Amino acid sequence: MNTLRGWRGGERQTLFNALGFLQAGHSCELLCRRAEPLAHKAQAAGVPVRPVSGLWGALRYLLRHGRRYDIIHVQTSKDQTAALLARPFHHRPVVYTRRVDFVPKKGLSRWKYRRTDCVVAISPAIQDILKRVGIPDPPLISEAIVARELDKARASRLVARLGVSGKRLLGTTAALVPHKDPLNSVRAVYHLYQQRQDFVFLHFGEGPLRPQVEAEIHALGLGQVYHLCGFQDQVEDFFSVLELFSMSSEEEGLGSSLLDAFIYGVPVVATVAGGMRDLVAGVGLQVAIHDPRALAQALNRLMEDSHLAASLAARAREKVMAHHSVEVITRQYLGLFEQLVKA
């Protein structure tokens, strides 16, 4: 169950979960908002979809049909609320996968966590937060990634359109929202540009901070260096041309776009925000949050040391293949669901 609009990391993971359960031979239906990317992509992939108008539509559906299911697996906090409100009618275990690394507020939020049969953390950082609010042993199940054939020609057309052919290409995929700290990314690129001018930075993502980010790019004179490329469907295609991948977040449940960088062999520099600390440890370079100079230095280090960059990328790919395949994540969820059904 995921009734959010748009298409970001949580929606992609919802689809991977559904596909994993189906591939493992189980019956799985996806309750999501109609006419949104998740519904379209799920239907195209062969996932049975129960489309609703929104959160209230999902609540009505659960009130009427929730008993059809053995497990109700929710992917957002609002969906968690709906599933719990409907539980007197469906009487089914509710599992909530938590992807954010801020501390839940008191009151309704704490009540929801006590009522939820199982809250899954996608990273040790989130697991620690859940323990602090009274959940004694939340299970840790990370996120999955599926490699696909990349359309390098599409990425090359963007490079040609921007007029940056011949430049070294650095980039990120991050919404322009506060917890991603895009201004930190812009300032890091500014400091890097003071040291070298042989690169450009491609930022894929959209969001409410775009005006502030555009203003900062202009103020720092980075108009020909820092390119806001907006939201791009199938954004993975652009990993085919990136030399380095950077994430500048101040909060991050896991940083699922890092999994893309890992599986497509792009070396990573990231802050130690939330779950990224553990995910990137030993397979990429890490810096403190809100430190654009350190981020610039780390990027420059990998640009100067191709052997280190290649070594980190190889280790990252090994890690993601061993621990983040759909098969691995699906087995972990199914083991958890089996315990809940038997309880």
CA-to-CA dists, residue 111 to 10, 133, 175, angstroms? 23, 11, 30
Residue 236's alpha-carbon distances to 47, 146, 157, 240, 242, in angstroms, are: 22, 11, 15, 8, 10
For 181-210, how does the pLDDT look when each residue is reduced to its tens digit (9 = 90+)? Answer: 999 999 999 999 999 999 999 999 999 999
pLDDT at res. 168: 98
Judged by phi (left if over 0) then psi (alpha if -120 to 50, else beta), residue 93 lies in beta
| pTM of the model as a whole | 0.91
Name beta bridge partners: 79. none
Q: Which CATH number fits domain 152-323: 3.40.50.2000, 3.10.50.40, 1.10.579.10, 3.60.21.10?
A: 3.40.50.2000
Tens-digit pLDDT profile for residues 259-276: 999 999 999 999 999 999
Start-to-end CA distance of the chain, whole Å, equals 22
pLDDT over 80 at 75, yes or no? yes
What's the confidence (pLDDT) of residue 110?
75
**What pLDDT is recorded for position 180?**
96
Strand arrangement, sheet containing 94-98: 72-74, 94-98, 118-121
Six-digit token string for 303: 């640009």
pLDDT at 139: 97
Q: What is the CATH number of domain 9-144+325-342?
A: 3.40.50.2000
**pLDDT > 90: what percent of the chain?**
92
Query: What was the pLDDT predicted at 223?
Result: 97
CB 266 within 8 A of CB 243: yes
Q: What whole-number distance in Å separates Cα of residue 218 and Cα of residue 220?
A: 5
**Mean pLDDT across the stretch 23-36?**
97
* Sequence letter at residue 106: K
Q: Can you say whether the dihedral through the CA atoms of 133, 135, 136, 139 is positive or negative?
A: negative
Domain 9-144+325-342 shares a fold with domain 152-323: yes
Cβ contacts of 89 within 8 Å, gap of 6 or more: 62, 63, 66, 67
Whether residue 108 is predicted with pLDDT greater than 80 in this model: the reply is no
What percent of the chain shows pLDDT beyond 70?
99
Q: Looking at this protein, which amino acid is placed at residue 43?
A: Q
Q: Give the start-to-end residue ranges of the domains of the chain.
A: 9-144+325-342, 152-323
* Residue-averaged pLDDT of the chain: 95
Q: What is the pLDDT of residues 135-171, one digit of tens each?
A: 889 999 999 999 999 999 999 999 999 999 999 999 9
